[in-house]
Amino acid sequence: MADSTQTLAGPPQAAKKPQSFTRHGVTVEDDYAWLRDAGYPEVTDKEVLAHLEAENQWFEGRMAGQQGKIDALFKEMRARIKEADKSVPQKDGDYLYWIEFEEAAEYKKWWRRPVGARDDGSADELILDEVALAEGKDYFNLGAISTSANGKLLAYSVDDNGSERFTVHIKDLVTGELLADEIPGTLSALVWVADDKGLVYSLANEQWRTDNARLHWLGQPLESDVELYHEDDEGFRVGSSLSANEKWLLIGSSDHETSETRLVSAADPLGEQILVKPRRKGVEYDVDEREGVLYIHTNDTHENFRLATAPLANPGEWTTLIEGTDAFYLTGTDLFRDFYVVEGRKTVGAGAGLDRIEVRYYDDPARVEPISFPEASYSAGLANNPEWHVTTLRLTYESMVSPSTVYDYDVAARTLDVLKVQEIPSGYDAALYATERLEIVARDGTPVPVSVVYRRDRVGAGPLHLYGYGAYGISIDPGFSTTRLSLVDRGFAYAIAHIRGGDDMGRAWYKAGKLEKRTNTFNDFVDVAKGLVERGFTAPGKISISGGSAGGELMGAVINSDPDLFGAVVAHVPFVDVLNTMLDDTLPLTPGEWPEWGNPIEDKAAFELILSYSPYDQVKAQAYPPLMVTAGLNDPRVTYWEPAKWVAKLREVKTDRNELILKTNMGAGHGGKSGRFESLKETAEEFAFILWQLGIEG
């Protein structure tokens, strides 16, 4: 591997402080448990902070020799971004709304103008200025934002340290002043009700769990806020929204496999709540309403979901409107006044795994109008369509070679009108690139889809970057990326492994990578890498890989099992201390995560399985590939000590001298630094590390 000038005497090695616990008759050693500050979420332990700072210094020292490459990468990545840019205005009520970035700005501004006003700037109204709100802050994240139905009030929430505990503010759009109403500690959408006199939100409790839906009356003290619903199951989370016709407040509660919904009149949020159907383990559903009929999207009879209807007067009496099938994964429905839209993915045959959008009609169930797109591999979906009565639909589309495109789809004419194509100021010629949708057979005989993009002039088995996630039923779509071009233009092929654990190929695909089948996810990723070698895309040791959060767990698992396959690894906020986290029910996410990973507290088999793959617990005395790890001190999702403990243990036992560096953002959380250019710098660091370790200059 390439080397850089070493500026410190050696990498920091955390002190070993032997600690162990016994569960289900198995004793587990954990010499680095002390890196968890006992006062968390406050991190004040001087020894812990000193170790994290030492790791940051080591990171900076090892990366110092790559600063020229980082700067060059950042410059070219930034040159692909249209700095002064705006979204396509969208009508909502009496106004057209859009967002806008100014030249060199890290954050956006939110604008509107009255419908029918001249598009010359004279009627434009700045309703929220993120640039001003973020001024002087190391971190800034706008959470929820919601305009009242009458257009006179704006509710928004802000997190300024990465902890994902947001403070709500309410702005009078007539006067421009902030109201005295301020709600700290939220983690939710903001929903206007009761003729814009009330705002529904959810507080995060001490364990960062949203177990409530609350109503705040404007002008009243927070102490008088009303709890509309409280969830007693610590594994469930509560969220609120409006029905598409805005007549109903929908209060939902769910974990990763079970849900239930209540409706209450948005005009009378303190009125009688209608429980659609009581929760039943393993059954998920979401609801909307039109003309006294409920439309229920549910997996109660088929894992790929069906669409059912029920009379509002008898909400638990469900009648199938669209059957669930093995061939189509129905991911969601959107109701409009005169038609509804079905979104999903085919799961068999040509086009399997790709997005499909269909327009359907209430009065003619047999009338199905799919929206066609031009490429064989792509990502497409509904964009923001806030109004109930529409004749056109706003859509987004992209592929691994086609920049993001915004369309209006004329429902009657069935035509697509291009409104905006992502502009790349430094230049981009799609004809120089090719994309493929491959299938690579995993060790158990399952074909795993893989999306690949590369330059057409690429020759031979060159470097390849492989990305994966594989958890929570989250699909990784084959979309466009301007940053990715910095690798592809240097001879890389870039591949996305659509591994089990995501729902890329339907709900069964998700189930085949969770709980007792979790190791399928790791095996799929390794087998895809080997399959890409066999197909001549690359060679062992020329593969760089990356993943974040649960995808960071994936990184840890595959370098434990197949370290020689990979030449550089980047693990962002990696969920690697799986066993300890799932055993600790005081942590924010743990009880809600048991349906995904298993409950090792009560279930011996789950304990043994998680122990067998948990990356931290399975670190062994072997050579590991070069590894870059990131963490966030304020991250409530993957706590900072998981990557810190993992790196400490790797430093202790690994037998190689390859790079191992850890960077902890001391003022950020799960998503890293905020701001469009600050976050871009972190991507430039990541790519510079990959190029350095693969020995690629330029």
The string of pLDDT tens digits covering residues 289-304 is 999 999 999 999 999 9
CA distance 340 to 477: 24
What does the pLDDT read at residue 137? 92
Q: Is the dihedral of CA 232, 669, 168, 84 positive or negative?
A: negative
Backbone angles phi, psi at 582, to 5 degrees: -75, -15
What does the pLDDT read at residue 172? 97
Q: Label the pairing between strands 543-548 and 566-572.
A: parallel
What does the pLDDT read at residue 669? 60
Over residues 672-678, the mean pLDDT reads: 75
Q: Which residues of 190-213 are buried (b: 16+ CB within 10 A; e: fewer)?
A: bbbbbebebbbbbbbeebbbbbbb
Give tens-digit pLDDT for 607-651.
Answer: 999 999 999 999 999 999 999 999 999 888 889 999 999 999 999
Q: What angle do CA 500, 504, 508 make, to 5 degrees?
A: 60
Q: Which of 565, 568, 564, 541 is nearest to 687 (CA)?
A: 568
CA distance 296 to 311: 11
Instruction: With cut-offs at 50, 70 and 90, classify the pLDDT of residue 670.
Output: low
| 5 has a pLDDT exceeding 60 | no
What does the pLDDT read at residue 349? 82
Give tens-digit pLDDT for 19-29.
Answer: 999 999 999 99
| 382 has a pLDDT exceeding 70 | yes
CA distance 301 to 304: 9
Give tens-digit pLDDT for 635-644.
Answer: 888 899 999 9
Instruction: With cut-offs at 50, 70 and 90, classify the pLDDT of residue 6.
Output: very low
In this structure, the dihedral spanned by the alpha carbons of residues 279, 285, 286 and 288, taken in order and rounded to 10 degrees, is -100
Across the chain, mean pLDDT equals 95
Q: What is the largest CA-CA distance in the chain?
A: 75
Q: Which two tokens stand for residue 330?
A: 């129905």
- What percentage of the chain has pLDDT greater than the value 90? 91
Q: Which two tokens stand for residue 110?
A: 């939110």
Over residues 470-493, the mean pLDDT reads: 96
Instruction: With cut-offs at 50, 70 and 90, classify the pLDDT of residue 3.
Output: very low
CA distance 502 to 625: 26
CA distance 467 to 554: 10
- Lookup result for tokens 């996630």: 469
Give tens-digit pLDDT for 104-151.
Answer: 999 999 999 999 999 999 999 999 999 999 999 988 999 999 999 999
Asked if 204 contacts 211 with a C-beta cutoff of 8 angstroms, the reply is: no
- What percentage of the chain has pLDDT greater than the value 70? 98
Give tens-digit pLDDT for 590-607.
Answer: 988 999 999 999 999 999
SS3 548: strand
Q: Is the dihedral of CA 213, 159, 577, 625 positive or negative?
A: positive
- Lookup result for tokens 């959408």: 189
What does the pLDDT read at residue 677? 86
Asked if 628 contacts 539 with a C-beta cutoff of 8 angstroms, the reply is: no
HEC letters along 472-517 = CCCCCCCCCCCCCHHHHCCCCEEEEECCECECCCCHHHHHCCCHHH
CA dist list (Å): 387 to 9, 109, 307, 452: 62, 22, 22, 37
What does the pLDDT read at residue 507? 94
Which residues are annotated as catalytic? 549, 635, 670
* Kind and range of the H or E run holding 433: strand 433-441
| 676 has a pLDDT exceeding 90 | no
